[in-house]
């Protein structure tokens, strides 16, 4: 019937019917609205036009706002977190308190809790270095050692 054809029409072949895309943020003429390399129909897994738990946002190329595009985190673009990938739905895949983007920047493993490791041997753990913005791979880059203002109070 004409009604069934209209409801099931999918101009961009992304798996989301045009009538759903026309009421959502996605573009019925573009299979990858946000340009992250993951088709809208994969990001909106149940194809209802609403961002549901377990889905990435087809209208935001970085769902978790961690500075790494969803299509980079989900390298094979299948909508699943496979071995070797980070989770595009959370900014801290391994839950160690260190954002994925920071761990990737410093060649740490965003899939393994490495909060208490000290790869540069400077006496400060990754979780101590992160809030100070220091480089966990450079022993000369570290949080302040001691509190210099304490000497002024004690003198």
Averages of pLDDT over each 10 residues, the chain, 155 residues: 64 97 96 98 97 97 96 97 96 98 97 98 96 96 70 45
Among 47, 73, 89, give the residue marking a domain's end. Answer: 89
Predicted confidence at residue 136, as pLDDT, reads 98
Answer yes or no: do 84 and 29 share one domain.
Answer: yes
Q: Report pLDDT for 8.
A: 82
Q: 64 and 98 share a domain?
A: no
Question: Same domain, yes or no, for 73 and 145?
Answer: no
CA atoms lying within 13 Å on the CB side of residue 3: 0
Residue 40 has φ and ψ, to the nearest 5°, of: -50, -40
The answer on 130 and 63 residing in a single domain is no
- Pair 53, 11 in one domain: yes
> What total number of domains does the chain contain?
2
Query: For residue 153, what are the contacts with CB-CB under 8 A and spacing of at least 6?
Result: none
Clarify whether residues 8 and 65 are in a common domain.
yes
pLDDT of residue 145: 80
Domain that holds residue 122: 92-155
Q: Is there a contact between 29 and 21 (Cβ–Cβ < 8 Å)?
A: no
Residue 39: what pLDDT? Answer: 98
Where is the domain boundary, 89, 118, 142? 89
Q: Which pLDDT does position 81 carry in this prediction?
A: 96
């Amino acid at each position: 019937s004409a009604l069934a054809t209209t409801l099931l029409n999918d101009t961009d072949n992304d798996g989301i019917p045009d009538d759903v895309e026309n009421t959502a943020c996605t573009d019925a003429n573009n299979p990858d609205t946000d340009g992250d390399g993951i088709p809208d129909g994969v990001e909106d897994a149940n194809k209802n036009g609403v961002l549901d738990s377990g889905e990435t946002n087809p209208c935001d190329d970085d769902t978790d706002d961690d500075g790494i595009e969803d299509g980079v985190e989900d390298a094979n673009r299948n909508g699943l977190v496979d071995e070797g990938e980070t989770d595009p739905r959370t900014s801290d895949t391994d839950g160690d308190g260190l954002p994925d983007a920071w761990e990737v920047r410093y060649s740490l493993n965003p899939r393994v809790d490495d909060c208490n490791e000290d790869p540069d041997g400077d006496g400060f753990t990754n979780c101590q270095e992160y809030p100070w913005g220091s480089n966990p791979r450079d022993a000369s880059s570290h949080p302040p050692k001691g509190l210099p203002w304490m000497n002024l109070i004690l003198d």
